[in-house]
Amino acid sequence: MLQIENISFGYTSKEVLKNISFNVKKGDYIAIVGESGCGKSTLLEIIYGLLHIEKGTVYWNNEKLLGPKFHLIPGEEFMKYLPQDFDLMPYITVEENIGKNISSLDPNKQQRIQELLEVVDMSDFLKTKVKNLSGGQKQRVAIAKVIANEPAILLLDEPFSHIDNFRKNKLRRSLFKYLKSKKITCIVATHDTTDALSFADEILVIKDGELIAINTPEKLYNNPQSAYIASFFNEINEISLSELDAKSITKKTILAYPNEIKLSKKSTIKAIVISSYFKGNYYLIEAKINKTIVFFEHFSSLKQNKEVFLEIKNFH
């Protein structure tokens, strides 16, 4: 088990991370989400041992990890870390890059390289020099390289950011299925909600350096405690109760995803349509309730300035 206990860190006197604590069970996949600059990448670098911390502790199987001041080469041998800038040698082949992380004494080395290339859908590029690959192809090779020696813990920083959408879904399914089969603990810093919702065992939400939520994807999605948390999963409407009920004097608001708002002739909540955005199997409708902009899903576009009445799931 990986244990993070009361970690605080700052590059200057200002702390980037503040009192972070959580545990990760062997073989679990943890997604870390948060706005840019909130400390996601810094947290991965601390876990791996690239940054020295004065406050807090990292444990692996109850053994304290000492950090870069105690190692000639920073980083833990049983971990692999893939930063956003990759770590590939451009003038040698894909095969040679991956092979550097597999022992030359392994009798199945070539078979392992082929297997890893299949995981990242790069089998046709075995003999291609890395300098001749696209950014997305390089990222896929980098992923194959860091999982080559089957680390106990894998740390990934925005691992699919350069990869085309049509390849991304297949790659995610293949990679996370492979990691589960090998019981490799995986921690991913990501902006991509599909990484988190569809595959993670737990999601950590960081805001301004603080861990504000940790739970399963289902529980965080279905019961977000703030608009900030909900915004990582979908468009989110934060609507004041006083906008929905003229008699209300409360300052409370409700949260509703676009799919939780629909047209209803029985409703008294009036809105004026502003725009319709085609999303494939539905339209995202932008409308205004008094002074508040809301978004909801509908099966067809609606005319601009059309008056509609809305039913909102969490408002009765």
Both structure tokens of 9: 């860190």
Both structure tokens of 73: 């080469």
Distance between CA atoms of residues 238 and 231, nearest Å: 10
Question: How many other CB atoms sit within 10 Å of the CB of residue 148?
Answer: 21
Both structure tokens of 40: 């996601």
Burial of 181 by CB count in 10 Å (0-12 exposed, 13-18 middle, 19+ buried)?
exposed
The three-state secondary structure class of 296 is: strand
Distance between CA atoms of residues 80 and 210, nearest Å: 25
What's the pTM?
A: 0.89
- Render the burial of 19-51: b for 16+ CB within 10 Å, e for the rest: ebebebeeebbbbbbbeeebbbbbbbbbbbbeb
Cβ pair 7, 17 in contact under 8 A: yes
Indicate the DSSP class of residue 188: E
- pLDDT tens digits for the chain (316 residues)? 899 999 999 998 889 999 999 999 999 999 999 998 888 999 999 999 999 898 999 999 988 888 777 776 777 889 999 887 777 888 999 999 999 888 888 888 999 999 999 999 999 999 999 999 998 899 999 999 999 989 999 999 988 888 888 888 889 999 999 999 999 999 999 988 877 888 899 999 999 999 999 999 999 999 999 999 999 998 999 998 887 776 777 778 899 999 999 999 888 899 999 999 999 999 999 999 988 999 999 999 999 999 999 999 877 6
State residue 316's pLDDT score.
64
pLDDT digits (tens, 9 = 90+) for 36-57: 888 899 999 999 999 989 899 9
- Please name the residue that has the structure tokens 């006197």: 13
Within 8 A by CB and 6+ apart from 12, the residues are none
Both structure tokens of 256: 């509703």
Indicate the DSSP class of residue 22: E
State residue 87's pLDDT score.
77
Cβ pair 218, 46 in contact under 8 A: no
Distance between CA atoms of residues 232 and 224, nearest Å: 10
State residue 194's pLDDT score.
76
Within 8 A by CB and 6+ apart from 83, the residues are 41, 157
- Adjacent-strand bridge partners of 215: 203
User: Domains in the chain, please, with CATH?
Assistant: 2-230 (3.40.50.300), 240-312 (2.40.50.140)
